[in-house]
Structure 1
């Protein structure tokens, strides 16, 4: 009896019974694939409607153009969505991020207005510190309700969502607070290294988050808590601390976003600043491939989802869709993208196409 010497082929090696896997064929199953396709389609539509849509120009050392404007305007949503991603990964949800954003803006603007005699830079730094300190407390409050008292996340954060704008109105005395401070406006309109400061802040937060969650054990622990909180607790994971941490981080991201939004207009309106941004953030997270059931998350997908929403907003304006129908158009586009991502919908589409054997049988 003879034996044939050789190496057993790995699953990635072609065999008669198992063909070599194709990266191209597996691309549609990637969570970021369909959002990127949708983003590309929106860009093509804009180019058709406005031929110079992708034109980039450099003025006084700064890069300007529609793509840069979309990225800059999407910076607050990117920040909020990144924080929301980690919350969703732990099987949670944070409906209070819009309220946290307006509270941060209200605290910062009132502090700046109350200190007109101090230097602009020091005043803005102290105002930002006060605002982020308030966000830290609000994040601790949400984490306390969810991780310690065991209140459902949607209910716990709904409390602050309802009360947060009331707190912001108390801070601003129910008035639209206007800030005449160039240093504060620099957060939204400033240019560093040719790019908008707001975009650089968002990219820095994303980079730090990716570094911490993918280069340390924190990302794995967040996913473990989201997959099975009880099992992770029994395995020695401090699930309560993990949940508390992600809610604090989400509040800080929302606070930074609120500061950028307020700096863009040099004012804060407690009734409208950051209104419904929590829903856009949840959409960006879901479009990016992170399941609301918790577990694995995709920060890259979240960023793509946020850019998709920002591009869609600009597309609605460019195409000339009436303002009465823009929310309906936005909802339809998002539904289509979510359906394309759905494994069940893709499986249904595959059943409609004849397979190779069936196609040959009909010939």
Structure 2
């Protein structure tokens, strides 16, 4: 029973997350404190969920892309483009809190994100360009598009309705958490309760065999890139509405790398095939908790990324079954050299 528990794909990510939370509790005894102000919940744990919502959203879409054996390096740029489009649309109106205006701005951003996801999918599925190259094109060009939309400036808006997306509350919790939960539930139902999940895993395991078996692998690949674009677009809305502004240069910067790390930490293989959406969400929470921890303990800004990289490397090594077996074997060999030598001769 214990061995099955250790081999479960969520065991080690949950252990790492628990270890980070425990460290924060020991460093700051009031880390788990949650207070109620004006009917809303506030605290470090709530902040981790709220500030980690955009990364969780992007990582969910990235999971399905990686499950097909691909990768999407353009999600950070799509985040910037989505936020820039929404803020630009709202800023042009004198009545920025108008419901039709905000609704139209959100729809325009989502539609543009879907088109960008479709572009990536078409390059990979139809043009047969390697995913890392196909999405690298939009990663570079998309950042320029976001800056063209904002004219190289930071666009600020004053709209309570738009601000509600990233900074509002529902049932005392941040509204962004409910957006992530809705997308996660929808993706889980589509991939686990229908044949779509099997199609994605089949394409990720062997795309050519899937085509020979009659599966429209190009359609599957196209759909996951469109979904990834949708997730990045929603993340852009959450991120920009939380600060009521759009920065085409810095918004969503390096999100693609954090999303890939979250997917890997969650147990999904970069080679494609089997994927774990819940593991990805936990991986995103680990990254956000790590970021919060680094800032809380006062790590100098110039070495923050170095510390983060070392911790993520340690997490990945802990998750590696072959690495754990190697360490266990060396420890046993050092402690029981005679038994190990006898076992080697018998084998």
TM-score normalised by structure 2 residue count: 0.94
1:354 partner SS: helix
Deviation at 1:30, TM superposition (A): 2.2
The answer to whether the aligner puts 1:29 opposite 2:7 as a matched pair is: yes
Superposition pairs of residues 333-348 of structure 1, within 5 angstroms: 333-348=311-326
Question: 1:230: how far off?
Answer: 0.6
CA contact (8 A) 1:147 1:243 kept: yes
Report if the CA contact (8 A) 1:176-1:268 is conserved. Answer: yes
> Which residue is equivalent to 1:280?
258
The separation in 2 between residues aligned to 1:336 and 1:200, in whole angstroms, is 31
Residue by residue over 1:108-154, the C-alpha shift from the partner in whole angstroms, topping out at 9 and shown as x without a partner, is 11110112247522111000000011011111110110000100000
Q: Are 2:135 and 1:139 equivalent residues in the alignment? A: no
- Structure with higher Rg: it is 1
CA contact (8 A) 1:97 1:161 kept: yes
Query: In the TM superposition, what is the alpha-carbon distance from 1:195 to its structure 2 partner?
Result: 0.9
* Structure 1 CA distance for aligned equivalents of residues 339 and 139 of structure 2: 60
Is contact 1:49–1:318 with CA below 8 Å preserved after alignment? no
Which residue of structure 2 lines up, in the alignment, with residue 83 of structure 1?
A: 61
Out of 205, 208, 214, which is 2:183 matched to? 205
> Could you say which residue in structure 2 is the equivalent of 1:323?
301
Q: Deviations over 1:144-172 (max 9, x none)?
A: 10000100000000000000011111111
Check conservation: 2:39, 2:172, Cα contact below 8 A: yes
Q: Alignment partner for residue 94 of structure 2, among 116, 119, 138? A: 116
Task: Name structure 1 gaps, 5 residues minimum.
Answer: 1-22
| Counterpart pick for 1:239 among 173, 192, 217 | 217
Which of 238, 244, 256 pairs up with 1:266? 244
Q: 1:361 offset after TM fit, Å?
A: 6.2
In the alignment, what sits opposite 1:313?
291
Q: Distance in 1 between matches of 2:103 and 2:257?
A: 30
Paired position in structure 1 for 2:343: none
Q: How does 1:1-363 map to 2 (within 5 A)?
A: 23-117=1-95, 120-354=98-332
Give deviations 1:44-71, integer Å, cap 9, x for gaps: 1111111000011222221211111101
Q: Which of 89-98 and 314-323 deviates more?
A: 314-323
CA distance in 1, matches of 2:96, 2:174: 26
SS at 2:24 equivalent: helix
- CA deviation after TM superposition for structure 1 residue 343, in Å: 2.0
1:95 and 1:300 map into 2 onto residues whose CA distance is 21
Q: 1: CA distance between counterparts of 2:83 and 2:332?
A: 57
What TM-score does the superposition give when structure 1 sets the normalisation length?
Answer: 0.90
Following the alignment from structure 1 to structure 2, what is the Cα–Cα distance between the partners of residues 336 and 42? Answer: 13
User: Which stretch has the larger CA shift, 242-251 or 203-212?
Assistant: 203-212
Number of aligned positions between the proteins: 339
* 1:248 to partner: Cα distance: 0.3
Post-superposition offset of 1:82: 0.3
Unpaired runs of 5+ residues, structure 2, are 341-347
